[in-house]
Amino acid sequence: MGMVKSSHWIEPHPHGIYVKPADAWIDPSRAVSRALVTHGHADHARGGHEKVWATPETLAIMNLRYGTNEGQPVPYGEGIELGGVKISYHSAGHVLGSAQILMEYQGERVVATGDYKRRADPTCAPFEVIPCDIFITEATFGLPVFKHPSTDVEIQKLLSAKKAHPERCILVGAYALGKAQRVIGELRAAGYNDTIYLHGALEKMCKLYGELGVDLGDIQPVMETEKEVMRGQIILAPPSALNDRWSRRLPDPVTAMASGWMRVRQRARQRNVELPIIMSDHADWDELTQTIKDVSPTETWVTHGREDALVHWCALNQIKAKALELVGREEEDD
């Protein structure tokens, strides 16, 4: 691999990426005065910043979670200028409101992806390829063992489990922001119109999605539902609730989990999952490498995840690349 020089105006630090002329940080992991936030997941969007620029949807999510920031909304495709840096937000296809941040300064273009995926998602806008000089990509699933199967196949697994167990219920673990709504959205897209029941921790976010124009159909809180009614039904809960006392109120649940990590059997086993649903909001290996080819930057910087493998792949393909070691993101939830 050839030497890769840091651009003089953009600096990777363990706690985030610093945009020097703008005096602003991208997804900083500690409170700063000026933050550019790609999306609402907790390891990218933290509370306590003095000023935040993000898409209107991300700001709404942050307001729901932290209740504090007003923030400066920047809709997709629109730009602002900070300290001579032109900054614009473009859809990343990860979760509702997720954005790649494009920065242009003295003729150089840098894109920070935050998290992204390339597959269709009924609950958010698709990834946009933005040509640039420096491409800062995530690598959550940056190993060639990660090839997410087709979403239809995985949704059918859920539906056939439901059919096979009319006396039980199908309890699906899914992260509160993004994955839960996507699972519902994909089920709806597959023509499933029954009521879907929700753990309390998912209600607010699903409601916010509804307010932001993402229709999730008939959803009801588990809290207000009789046990008998939920037999043969699909229920969503955050992963932490799967093996929790909470699940005792459900009729003999089949434990499922929707996550890209489910691709690895022992991972699913560690989670005590009976029905692994391999569905991710991150790019898989083929999508990561395809995206680097599509964007075709002069340099690729690889952030959180399995940087080593993706950087090695770049070297094999004569693409300049380096790993940025950001803290606090060792194992991304998905």
Partner 1 sequence: MQDFSNLLDRLIYTRSRNDKLGLISAYLKKAPDPDRGWVLAALTGELDFPTVKASAVRNMAMERVDETLFRLSRDFVGDTAETVALIWSEQTDKSVVGIPTVGEIVDELASVTRADAPILLANFMDRMGSNERYALLKLATGGMRVGVSARLAKKAFAQAFDMSVEDVEEVWHALEPPYSELFSWGEGQADRPDLTGVPFFRPFMLAHPLEDRKVDLADYAAEWKWDGIRIQIVGTGQETRLFSRGGDDITRSFPDVSKAFAAVGVLDGELLVRGEYQGGEAASFNALQQRLGRKKVSAKMQNDYPAFVRLYDILFDGENDLRERSWIDRRSTLETFVPKLNTKRFDISTILDARDFDHLSEIRDCARDAAIEGVMLKRKDSPYISGRKTGLWYKWKRDPLVADCVMMYAQRGSGKRSSFYSDYTFGCWTEDGELFPVGKAYSGFTDDELRMLDRFVRQHTLNRFGPVREVEKTMVLEVAFDSVHESKRHKSGLAMRFPRISRIRTDKPAEEADRVETLKKMIS
Q: Is 309 in the site for partner 1 (CB under 8 A)?
A: yes
For residue 177, the minimal CB distance to partner 1 (Å) is 23
Q: Is 144 in the site for partner 1 (CB under 8 A)?
A: yes
Q: Return the number of the residue (8 or 269) whose C-beta is nearest partner 1.
A: 269
10 to each of 5, 68, 81, 105, 301, how far by Cα in Å? 11, 28, 15, 10, 12
Q: Is 147 in the site for partner 1 (CB under 8 A)?
A: yes
For residue 211, report the phi and psi dihedrals to the nearest 5 degrees: -65, -30
For residue 130, the minimal CB distance to partner 1 (Å) is 27
Q: Is 145 in the site for partner 1 (CB under 8 A)?
A: yes
For residue 239, the minimal CB distance to partner 1 (Å) is 15
Q: Which of 64, 189, 264, 295: binder of partner 1 (CB under 8 A)?
A: 264
Give the residue carrying structure tokens 């954005």.
99
Q: Which of 272, 290, 296, 298: binder of partner 1 (CB under 8 A)?
A: 272
Stretch near partner 1 under the rule CB under 8 A, chosen from 25-33, 175-183, 195-203, 301-309: 301-309
Interaction with partner 1 in 276-295: which residues (CB under 8 A)? 276
144 to each of 115, 163, 215, how far by Cα in Å? 18, 33, 35
**Which spans in the chain are helix H?**
56-66, 151-164, 179-189, 200-211, 265-270, 285-295, 307-316
Q: Is 266 in the site for partner 1 (CB under 8 A)?
A: yes
Q: Between 307-316 and 285-295, two packed helices, what is the crossing angle to 10 degrees?
A: 50
Q: Which of 8, 249, 265, 293: binder of partner 1 (CB under 8 A)?
A: 265
Burial 183-219, CB ≥16 within 10 A → b, else e: bbbbbbeeebeeebbbbeebbebbebbeeeebebeeb
Rg (CA), the chain: 20
Stretch near partner 1 under the rule CB under 8 A, chosen from 86-94, 144-152, 158-166, 204-212: 144-152
Stretch near partner 1 under the rule CB under 8 A, chosen from 12-20, 38-46, 143-151, 186-194: 143-151
User: Letter for the amino acid at 75?
Assistant: P
Q: Which of 108, 133, 274, 333: binder of partner 1 (CB under 8 A)?
A: 274
Stretch near partner 1 under the rule CB under 8 A, chosen from 36-44, 106-114, 173-181, 304-312: 304-312
The strand ranges marked E within the chain are 10-13, 16-19, 24-26, 34-36, 51-54, 72-73, 79-82, 85-91, 99-105, 108-112, 134-139, 169-173, 196-198, 219-221, 234-237, 253-258, 275-277, 299-305, 320-323
Q: Which of 179, 199, 304, 306: binder of partner 1 (CB under 8 A)?
A: 306
How would you list the strands of the sheet with 51-54, edge to edge?
10-13, 16-19, 24-26, 34-36, 51-54, 72-73
Q: Return the number of the residue (33 or 317) whose C-beta is nearest partner 1.
A: 317
Q: Return the number of the residue (40 or 238) whose C-beta is nearest partner 1.
A: 238
Q: Is 304 in the site for partner 1 (CB under 8 A)?
A: no
Q: Return the number of the residue (143 or 230) whose C-beta is nearest partner 1.
A: 143
For residue 174, the minimal CB distance to partner 1 (Å) is 17
Whether 133 and 320 have beta carbons less than 8 Å apart is answered as no
For residue 30, the minimal CB distance to partner 1 (Å) is 16
- The token pair at 138 is 């995530």
Q: Which of 157, 263, 282, 329: binder of partner 1 (CB under 8 A)?
A: 263
Residues in touch with partner 1 (CB under 8 A) = 143-147, 263-270, 272-276, 306, 308-309, 312-313, 316, 330-331
